[in-house]
Amino acid sequence: MILNFFQYSFLVKALIAGSLLAIITGLLGVFLVLRKLSLIGDGLSHVSFGAVALGLLLGVYPYYISLPLTVLASFLVFRLMSKAKIYGDTAIGIISAAGVSLGVIIASLAGGFNVDLFSYLFGSLLAVSMMEIYFLLILTTVTIYFIVYNYRALFALSFDESSAKTMGLKTDKLNRLILILLALTVAAAVKAVGVMLVSALLILPAASALQRTLSFKKTLLRSVFFALLSVIFGLLASVGFNLPTGASIVVAGLFIFIINYLLRS
């Protein structure tokens, strides 16, 4: 089955796109889990769903609507947390509820959930295009550069933001940059694993890596490794047993987490 896998260009493209997405979510997920903001991916995915519905209603390629609106929503979450004195989970809940509600309203105006919109709910990694792969490649490069260049500052920010601010680090700027990268990642991941599952791709690999006592750098690398394993095994299971791709990837990540938890115990 593995040999036959590489005979089909759409499967190779799915593997490349999924691997690039795994690198990004594996890295960003660690920072989100440590800062107890892991569900922000879920909130932004709901906003992305509303943006996709708007794009389909207007007859515009959904990426063109989803990317800017999801980035805008990430800034709104940050503003609610910093200016409105609202806890992170509350701000995420507000944005999430607004996004999914607008998506449902727009879908109803368009005459209900059509096939295209339904595919964004549960993902369609096997239908990924070359343009989306190029976007993921650029986003992966930018994410790696951002983390390597700001590694020490991000380390301090992840464990104690107040102390990091006292040390003179520009925490607000770092938070905005992380949210921009996250918003772009979520907008891309919605096509791959779907609105319902995108937060799992951000949480499970990082949670698996954090089951062991490791250095921060090793935790980041292990999170990426587990994310890659989830994509590879999930994609193979999807093709071999004719299962939904996005759900298979998330279930593979869940098994990896359970194994790491049992080994830790």
Rounded Cα distance, 52 and 67, in Å? 9
Region 62-68 average pLDDT: 83
**Domain layout of the chain by residue ranges:** 2-264
Task: Tell whether the model's pLDDT for residue 1 goes beyond 60.
Answer: no
pLDDT at position 114 is 58
Helix (H) or strand (E) holding 154: helix 151-159
Rounded Cα distance, 70 and 248, in Å? 25
Q: What is the DSSP letter of 128?
A: -
Rounded Cα distance, 132 and 188, in Å? 8
**Range of 2-11, 62-71, 175-184 with top mean pLDDT:** 175-184
Tens-place pLDDT, residues 198-214: 888 899 999 999 998 77
Task: Tell whether the model's pLDDT for residue 19 goes beyond 70.
Answer: yes
Rounded Cα distance, 150 and 205, in Å? 22
Dig out the tokens for 148 from the structure.
Answer: 């390597």
Q: How far is CA 58 from CA 51, 64, 106, 114, 208, in A?
A: 11, 11, 10, 14, 41
pLDDT at position 3 is 59
Helix (H) or strand (E) holding 170: none
Express as a percent the part of the chain with pLDDT over 90. 28
pLDDT at position 78 is 77
Does residue 46 sit in helix, strand or coil?
Answer: helix
Separation of first and last alpha carbons in the chain: 35
Assigned superfamily of 2-264: ABC transporter involved in vitamin B12 uptake, BtuC (1.10.3470.10)
Task: Tell whether the model's pLDDT for residue 115 goes beyond 70.
Answer: no
Helix (H) or strand (E) holding 114: none
Rounded Cα distance, 140 and 239, in Å? 25
Rounded Cα distance, 170 and 138, in Å? 25
Residue 226 binned pLDDT confidence (cut-offs 50, 70, 90): very high
Does residue 201 sit in helix, strand or coil?
Answer: helix
Region 112-131 average pLDDT: 72
Tens-place pLDDT, residues 132-163: 899 999 999 999 999 999 999 898 888 887 78
Please tell me the pTM assigned to this model. Answer: 0.88
Q: Round the average pLDDT of the chain to a whole number and report it.
A: 84
Q: Are 220 and 147 in contact (CB under 8 A)?
A: yes
Q: How far is CA 57 from CA 50, 53, 74, in A?
A: 11, 6, 23
Rounded Cα distance, 221 and 74, in Å? 26
Tens-place pLDDT, residues 79-91: 777 665 666 667 7
Q: Which amino acid belongs to residue 20?
A: L
Q: Which amino acid belongs to residue 235?
A: L
Express as a percent the part of the chain with pLDDT over 70. 90
Q: Are 208 and 257 in contact (CB under 8 A)?
A: yes
Task: Tell whether the model's pLDDT for residue 195 goes beyond 60.
Answer: yes
Handedness of CA 68, 150, 43, 258 (dihedral sign): positive
Residue 58 binned pLDDT confidence (cut-offs 50, 70, 90): confident
